[in-house]
Chains A and B, each alone.
Chain A
């Protein structure tokens, strides 16, 4: 066991875990942040995506020892109150079926929109091809990302 200090959603947490523990299980078992999901454990389904230093990572593959250096954002910290454009778009378009993969989908999409605020269908397909949705809500996920881009663009217009 080793002690690590993690900065998650703007808060510091001290944990005492085996250094090879994947970040996913520290989030879920130690910190009670269960939004990131376990699906495959080998980085194939992306249900576990969180942001590390702003970049999307598969938390099931990332040992906690490698995650202690940068800010971690999980779905619980994407917005304070579910008001991120993607979260709004997901509710408005009723994207989810079972919903299990959707935190990972949203975190992957958030990373896409952060550097490409107006993605094409092809951009979306490329960026989201790592995320499995077993209920196959891919149509609505794609539409949800376009919708979120619109919401973000409108908000920007209001600000300027």
Chain B
């Protein structure tokens, strides 16, 4: 008996109940056949037999509720928070919930972890899933008692008949429940959030006991019988091909199985997939690492062998002097009449801001375990985008994506780096050659010198305040390495006379998303320059920024795809953070407060930093206060607060210390001794997180709390010392004062 199909659930799936060996109620959700015809066919077939991996919720006769977690756990806490949503609606006892990591399977729908998208994409789906299962269990209990379902309530892992006080445990209901049809979607009622007991509470990560006892959770911890160990050396000038190498000599070294050149680029002409290099395969990690020290490779010159940061900065300055319409100067947005506004301004401020390339520096170096057999491959990978990993692996193998099985491991830090699957491509290419399970491990230098970097950038700004102290004109020229600022990026839409010019520097540097891409630097540029303009206008920065945000609520985006900006939500968090931080309280010289605020990834966040700068220039960030609006519901208060605290310290680490220099077409830094990360002694002693609940759907927290930190700290330094710093990181600037 099996497979009762019913009830469309959202855009991607339908629900069904199946009975599986061992009994229990199993509720699966399945992609629509029209979306994934082959996969759905396979699943239905599977469901009639020994159904296993495509169940989303399983309630066993012992009352254990098993919930599959489909999104990769990268430290954002999704493996705990989404099952909490299911459990809340189900009325489960959290102590009886077991969370199992899913592998890549189309039945689960989108499985990437990026862009702070998991919560907004899955929150409503998980609620519906839990509520549907609850509705079935309640019906089963009602039928058992011959009572109306409306008199029965599910909570704490059992259903109670309210008038009589009788109760039945979930486990005792599953046999009956699994014979019932899935209720029609519109008959499933969600809980009133006022009655939530689990959501919004503090729940520890479900894998914490394994984390603190050193269990093999991560990609780098995976093993297979007969596994060999590989390293892969690539040209320090990105994308350059190996012309020759002392392979015979390396093959003769102790513990080395093989050494060979892989001279392929997949996809063609791209720097973020498989690129050419030299593989060494050995009996142990150390044998491979040791042999690599003897490896000598002749590389071709590469496309940009002479590029350097200093030269990029020179090119940027030249572009800044070019007129709109000149070669490589694109007008991305123009509002009003800038000439007139600048001519009539009370004050005009000009400034240039710049920031360097930085690395993701995931503490778990890039790695992958792959086993290629014929035209099939199985990989174990710490990937944020398992589907992308499968696509790339199948391209490397020249096989269909279905022939690549991706096992998703826990991830030792993502931050966007692991949305790209280059280590998977390399491990697959090496395993294809040697025919054995291969664990590829990058060393720290590989990781720093072959990252897909947060790009550096240059912003040349000119702003005007009018006689009333209002921001009347904004001219910005962004010289970028990859993506430029968008036409709607703040403060566009809020300044009557506005010009955004964009230019791109030709370069061969691999780039990728780094926690809050774009926003992580634009927030700093924009909020610092706004602080300069507020000071020029002789106005308090909080008051100046609130005035700039105006009195509109929803400010529409430009064009069909434009994103609206909810100015009232932003004003609210700015006001709240100012109040909570005690904005405006008198501080002695050398101490100061600064404001940063930004909208990204659907979240509205404002932060105030309070700093002390000693006369010798030593910086201490004493306190950071954050006001965070990510909608109506915080799912897991512990996890949410951890994300904000971490984003604040991560933001400080990047703004204070992190910088990659580029010389002779390559990254100079090689390890944590010259690429400095913030440590505990420099972390702020106090971080206060205030979640501001608003009547909007819950959204993600991996990213939006990071961008406001850098401007908050820089503006606080100005308040403390009178020094306006216009470059990242801070460590380049002498902050001493007298």
With CB as the reference atom, state the residue of chain A lying closest to B443: A41
Question: B212–A132 contact, CB under 8 A?
Answer: no
Binds B, one of A51-59, A84-92, A151-159: A84-92
Question: A132–B284 contact, CB under 8 A?
Answer: no
Within 8 Å by CB of A39, from B204, B363, B648, lies B363
Which residues of chain B from 643 to 694 have a CB within 8 Å of any chain A CB? 643, 645-650, 653, 671-673, 677-681, 683, 685, 687
B450 → A minimal CB distance (Å): 16
Question: A132–B363 contact, CB under 8 A?
Answer: yes
Question: B642–A140 contact, CB under 8 A?
Answer: yes
Within 8 Å by CB of A99, from B207, B638, B643, lies B207
Question: A29–B285 contact, CB under 8 A?
Answer: yes
With CB as the reference atom, state the residue of chain A lying closest to B254: A18
Interchain CA distance A21-B289 in the complex, whole Å: 10
With CB as the reference atom, state the residue of chain B lying closest to A137: B646
Question: A39–B365 contact, CB under 8 A?
Answer: yes
Within 8 Å by CB of B216, from A17, A34, A133, A139, lies A34
Interchain CA distance A36-B211 in the complex, whole Å: 11
B442 → A minimal CB distance (Å): 10
Residue interface bits B198-217, CB-to-A below 8 A is 1, else 0: 00001111011101111111
Q: Does A4 contact B (CB under 8 A)?
A: no
Interchain CA distance A99-B205 in the complex, whole Å: 10
Interchain CA distance A28-B285 in the complex, whole Å: 9
Interface size for chain A: under 10, 10 to 19, 20 to 34, or 35 or more residues? 35 or more
Within 8 Å by CB of A136, from B213, B365, B650, lies B650
Question: A35–B213 contact, CB under 8 A?
Answer: yes
Given contacts A37-B364, A99-B217, contact A125 B681 (CB under 8 A): yes
Interchain CA distance A118-B74 in the complex, whole Å: 33
With CB as the reference atom, state the residue of chain A lying closest to B672: A44
Interchain CA distance A101-B680 in the complex, whole Å: 13
Instruction: Report B-chain residues with C-beta under 8 Å of the C-beta of A106.
Output: 212
Q: Does B196 contact A (CB under 8 A)?
A: no
Question: A40–B412 contact, CB under 8 A?
Answer: no
With CB as the reference atom, state the residue of chain B lying closest to A76: B214
Instruction: Report A-chain residues with C-beta under 8 Å of the C-beta of B643.
Output: 97
Which residues of chain A from 37 to 77 have a CB within 8 Å of any chain B CB? 37-42, 44-45, 47, 74-76
With CB as the reference atom, state the residue of chain B lying closest to A140: B642
Q: Does B570 contact A (CB under 8 A)?
A: no
With CB as the reference atom, state the residue of chain A lying closest to B653: A136
Instruction: Report B-chain residues with C-beta under 8 Å of the C-beta of A22.
Output: 286
Question: A140–B254 contact, CB under 8 A?
Answer: no
Instruction: Report B-chain residues with C-beta under 8 Å of the C-beta of A141.
Output: 680
A15 → B minimal CB distance (Å): 10
Interchain CA distance A92-B208 in the complex, whole Å: 9
Q: Does B54 contact A (CB under 8 A)?
A: no
Residue interface bits A131-155, CB-to-B below 8 A is 1, else 0: 1111111111110000000000000
A9 → B minimal CB distance (Å): 11
Instruction: Report A-chain residues with C-beta under 8 Å of the C-beta of B443.
Output: 41
Given contacts A42-B672, A75-B214, contact A1 B254 (CB under 8 A): yes
B255 → A minimal CB distance (Å): 7
Instruction: Report A-chain residues with C-beta under 8 Å of the C-beta of B212.
Output: 75, 82, 86-87, 90-91, 96, 102-103, 106
Question: A102–B211 contact, CB under 8 A?
Answer: yes
Given contacts A99-B75, A140-B645, contact A91 B204 (CB under 8 A): yes
Question: A132–B677 contact, CB under 8 A?
Answer: yes
Interchain CA distance A106-B212 in the complex, whole Å: 8
Q: Does A111 contact B (CB under 8 A)?
A: no
Within 8 Å by CB of B364, from A29, A78, A97, A100, lies A100
Q: Does B411 contact A (CB under 8 A)?
A: yes
Binds A, one of B218-226, B345-353, B540-548: B218-226
Within 8 Å by CB of B639, from A75, A87, A94, lies A94
B198 → A minimal CB distance (Å): 15
B423 → A minimal CB distance (Å): 14
With CB as the reference atom, state the residue of chain B lying closest to A36: B214
Interchain CA distance A125-B220 in the complex, whole Å: 29
Question: A125–B680 contact, CB under 8 A?
Answer: yes
Given contacts A38-B220, A100-B363, contact A136 B211 (CB under 8 A): no
Given contacts A34-B214, A96-B211, A142-B680, contact A134 B361 (CB under 8 A): yes
Instruction: Report B-chain residues with C-beta under 8 Å of the C-beta of A8.
Output: none
Q: Does B64 contact A (CB under 8 A)?
A: no
Summed over the interface, the residue pairs from A and B with CB atoms below 8 Å come to a total of: 191
Question: B680–A33 contact, CB under 8 A?
Answer: no
Given contacts A17-B286, A32-B223, A99-B211, contact A132 B672 (CB under 8 A): yes
With CB as the reference atom, state the residue of chain A lying closest to B674: A44
B637 → A minimal CB distance (Å): 10
A56 → B minimal CB distance (Å): 15
Q: Does B229 contact A (CB under 8 A)?
A: yes
Q: Does B444 contact A (CB under 8 A)?
A: yes
Interchain CA distance A137-B208 in the complex, whole Å: 14
Instruction: Report B-chain residues with C-beta under 8 Å of the C-beta of A44.
Output: 671-673
Question: B75–A38 contact, CB under 8 A?
Answer: no
Question: A39–B444 contact, CB under 8 A?
Answer: yes
With CB as the reference atom, state the residue of chain A lying closest to B255: A18
A43 → B minimal CB distance (Å): 9
Of the candidates B410, B677, B680, the one having the most CB atoms from chain A within 10 angstroms of its own CB is B680
Instruction: Report B-chain residues with C-beta under 8 Å of the C-beta of A33.
Output: 214
Question: A76–B213 contact, CB under 8 A?
Answer: yes
Instruction: Report A-chain residues with C-beta under 8 Å of the C-beta of B221.
Output: 28, 34
Q: Does A124 contact B (CB under 8 A)?
A: yes
Question: A103–B413 contact, CB under 8 A?
Answer: no
A23 → B minimal CB distance (Å): 10
Instruction: Report A-chain residues with C-beta under 8 Å of the C-beta of B215.
Output: 35
With CB as the reference atom, state the residue of chain A lying closest to B76: A97
Question: B284–A100 contact, CB under 8 A?
Answer: no
Instruction: Report A-chain residues with C-beta under 8 Å of the C-beta of B671.
Output: 40-42, 44
Instruction: Report A-chain residues with C-beta under 8 Å of the C-beta of B361.
Output: 134
Question: A37–B646 contact, CB under 8 A?
Answer: no
Question: B364–A138 contact, CB under 8 A?
Answer: no
Instruction: Report B-chain residues with C-beta under 8 Å of the C-beta of A20.
Output: 290
Interchain CA distance A45-B202 in the complex, whole Å: 30
Q: Does A6 contact B (CB under 8 A)?
A: no
Instruction: Report A-chain residues with C-beta under 8 Å of the C-beta of B685.
Output: 121
Q: Does A114 contact B (CB under 8 A)?
A: no
Within 8 Å by CB of B363, from A79, A91, A92, A134, lies A134
Q: Does B167 contact A (CB under 8 A)?
A: no
Interchain CA distance A75-B199 in the complex, whole Å: 32
Q: Does B713 contact A (CB under 8 A)?
A: no
Given contacts A21-B286, A98-B412, contact A139 B687 (CB under 8 A): yes
Given contacts A96-B211, A132-B679, contact A29 B413 (CB under 8 A): no
Instruction: Report B-chain residues with C-beta under 8 Å of the C-beta of A99.
Output: 75, 205, 207-208, 211, 217, 410, 412
Please report B residues at the A interface, Cβ cutoff 8 Å: 74-77, 202-205, 207-209, 211-218, 220-221, 223, 229, 254-255, 284-287, 289-290, 361-365, 410-415, 441, 443-444, 638-639, 642-643, 645-650, 653, 671-673, 677-681, 683, 685, 687
Known: A97-B643, A103-B214. 17 other contacts (CB 8 A): A29-B284, A34-B218, A35-B214, A39-B363, A40-B672, A82-B209, A87-B212, A87-B213, A90-B212, A91-B209, A97-B76, A100-B218, A136-B647, A136-B653, A138-B680, A141-B680, A142-B680
Please name the 4 residue pairs, one residue from A and one from B, whose CB atoms are nearest each other, closest first.
Answer: A35-B214, A98-B75, A100-B412, A136-B649
23 A-B pairs (CB sep. < 8 Å) = A1-B254, A20-B290, A25-B285, A29-B286, A40-B671, A41-B443, A47-B363, A87-B213, A94-B208, A96-B212, A98-B364, A99-B205, A99-B211, A100-B363, A128-B680, A129-B681, A132-B679, A134-B361, A135-B413, A136-B645, A136-B653, A137-B642, A137-B646
Please report A residues at the B interface, Cβ cutoff 8 Å: 1, 17-18, 20-22, 25, 28-30, 32-42, 44-45, 47, 74-76, 78-79, 82, 86-87, 90-92, 94, 96-103, 106, 121, 124-126, 128-142
